[in-house]
Each structure stands twice: as C-alpha cells, then as structure tokens.
Amino acid sequence: MDRLHGKVAIVTGAGGGIGGAITRQFAAEGAAVVAIDIAAEPLDGIVAAVRADGGRIVPLVADVAEEETSEAAVARAVADFGRLDVVVSNAVFDLPLAPLTTLSLADWRRTFAVNLDSSFLLSKHAIPVMERGGGGSIILVASQQARVARPGRPWYCAAKGALVQLAKAMAVDHSAQNIRVNTLSPGPVETGRYLKNFATVEAARASHHTLLGRLGAPDEVATGAVFLASDESSFMTGSDLLIDGGYTAV
C-alpha cells in the first residue's frame, strides 16, 4: 500500500468499470484523485466508495471532449490538493458494432473527440502544471485493438492505435521535463460496456479470444495503471503496457 502516497491524479471515465477500478486502487494506494465522468450516477458511486474507505477524491461531472473540462480538472487538482502528478486518460465513447460504411460523420467525429482528442486536451493542460511540480506520469488507456482488429470496430481501432503513437511522441517531447508518457492496453475485460455488445453474459464470456480462457477483470487492469503511475516504472516511457490475457500473442 501507499505506492502513490503524496501523489495527485486525474482519472477520466472514472465512473466506468476500468476507470472506477483505477480510481479506487489509486486512492487505496494513497493518491488524491480528481475523478471525471459524464455520467453523474456511476461517478457518485465511485466517490462514495472511495470516501467510505478514507480516500481523498473530488468528482467532476463533465464532457472530456470539451477543453473547458481539462482546464477545470487541472485547476481542481491544484486548488484542492496542491499539485498534479498523474493523468489517466481513460474515457471512452462507444458505438454498436458496425463497419464504417454504416457510420454517420457525426458519430465518427464524436468517437474521436472522446477517444483521442480528450487525451490531447488533458495532456496539454496538465503538462505545464506537472512540470512545475517536478514531473509526473501520463497514462493513455489504449487497447489490444491498437495492434489487432475485430469486426465492427473501425473507429475504436483507429483511435486506440493513434493513442499508442501519441504517447510515444509525447514521451520524446517531454522527457526533459521528467514527464513519462505510456499507454495501458487492456484486452477484453468484463465491464458493463463490454457486456452490452452481446445478447447474454455467457455469450460475452465465450468471446474472450484469450490464451487464459476468460475475460479480464477491471482490477487486473487497474494494477497496471498503479504501476505506471508509481515510481516502480520510473525507467519506463514511450511504452505500451499490454494486459490482454495473451489475446495478441497468436
């Protein structure tokens, strides 16, 4: 415990399965968290759970696709906790499985606004504050589908692949500021967002395509985020931490 003692983090998509697990583990490891989600109800549940365990957390209900959200989140971290050390850009906007020929331009642009642009916006406003504090860690949550494709996911594969390259470019640009930038790529994880693509839970669990024969759990991904946020990964930047149960091994 206390691997993140004294650190202040921003986590987007904090009301979701993976984002919620990251938020809870960060708080349990001693970090103060600014937790962002567009949906108030699930975010309220995460905030209540963290506070019940004695953690430090403030919620922000907002759309990460808007630049004002990133500005407000960074300002809140400084105002409430005095600094900013870690950013986890995890928010995602999803669409039903479909080839790109069926997508509207508005849907395509919305997926990129949330799944890619929000990482740019949050990083842009976080980096100057992190630099003033001596550095930090930026974690962009990508996916195993940054490396391999599945049917009906063109917007997702494109945005997640872009995040991997964005992290590498940012790592090059900001290493002199002691800011590390990595991606965290989960494989198929049993979350509400994943399950809704299937008629039944059983069908979802049978779809895993992993060597370990099952879907991942949100907490298994969150442990990777704790590692990337902590000093344990101090010699790691420009990398992609893949936690996919062997999905991409064959």
Instruction: Give the catalytic positions in this structure.
Output: 156
| 241, amino acid identity | L
Q: Which of 172, 215, 210, 164 is nearest to 191 (CA)?
A: 215
Quick one: which H or E segment has residue 60? strand 56-61
Neighbours of 127 (CB within 10 A): 21
Collapsed DSSP state (helix, strand, coil) of residue 182 = strand
Angle at CA 166, nearest 5°, toward 16 and 75? 60
Q: Give the torsion sign (CA, 12, 71, 5, 178).
A: positive
Residue reference for tokens 């594969």: 157
The DSSP call for residue 6 is T
Output 201-208 pairs: Cβ under 8 A, ≥24 positions apart: 208/245, 208/247
Collapsed DSSP state (helix, strand, coil) of residue 16 = coil
- C-alpha span between 250 and 233 (Å, rounded): 27
Cα 99 to Cα 11, 77, 156: the distances in Å are 30, 40, 11
The DSSP call for residue 90 is -
